Amino acid sequence: MGEKALAELLFLVGKRLRHGYIHRLEPLGLNPGQARALRAIAEAEQPPRMVRLADELRIVPRSLTPVVDALEEAGLVRREVDPANRRSTLIMITPEGSALSERARDARGQAGEELFSVLSEAQREQLKELLEQVESRFR
């Protein structure tokens, strides 16, 4: 198989995985961008500043603002002034946000389980090892 065919196949599988994830996020009232931001906030050791969160998500801060606005409107996060730098805003996750972040993580796992259910356990492990090898090259 040529590299072009492999890349195309990987792209198509990724697209199917994303579609399954989006389908499972809809009942939670989240889109993938919101789920990703919520996960990053939930996993942060300290409440992140807006600029740091945007950097971590690899988006410009102005693109993050509507995402945080929607999460705040849904009661999943709240903004607070950073006591260490009053010009900065911290994003604090609420208990509801933490719970929904876990449900979104589960939705992602379920999408993967469904997609890869056609493979045996040994095949899934082998695929995981191969993908980890490719990914480790870019860390």
* Domains of the chain (ranges, CATH numbers): 3-136 (1.10.10.10)
pLDDT computed for residue 34 by the predictor: 97
Which of 40, 57, 49, 41 minimizes the C-alpha distance to 88? 49
What does residue 132 show for φ and ψ, rounded to 5 degrees? Answer: -65, -40
pLDDT computed for residue 55 by the predictor: 95
d(Cα 26, Cα 65) in Å, to the nearest integer? 21
pLDDT computed for residue 3 by the predictor: 74
> What does pTM read for this prediction?
0.85
pLDDT computed for residue 139 by the predictor: 76
Q: Which helix (H) or strand (E) element contains residue 86?
A: strand 85-93
What does residue 86 show for φ and ψ, rounded to 5 degrees? Answer: -60, -15
Distances (CA, A) of 1 to 5, 23, 61, 118, 137: 6, 31, 41, 21, 21
What does residue 75 show for φ and ψ, rounded to 5 degrees? Answer: 80, 20
Q: State whether the Cα torsion 97-41-57-8 is positive or negative.
A: negative
> Tens-of-pLDDT digits for all 139 residues of the chain?
677 799 999 999 999 999 999 999 999 999 999 999 999 999 999 999 999 999 999 999 899 999 999 999 999 999 999 898 888 899 999 999 999 999 999 999 999 999 999 999 999 999 999 999 999 998 7
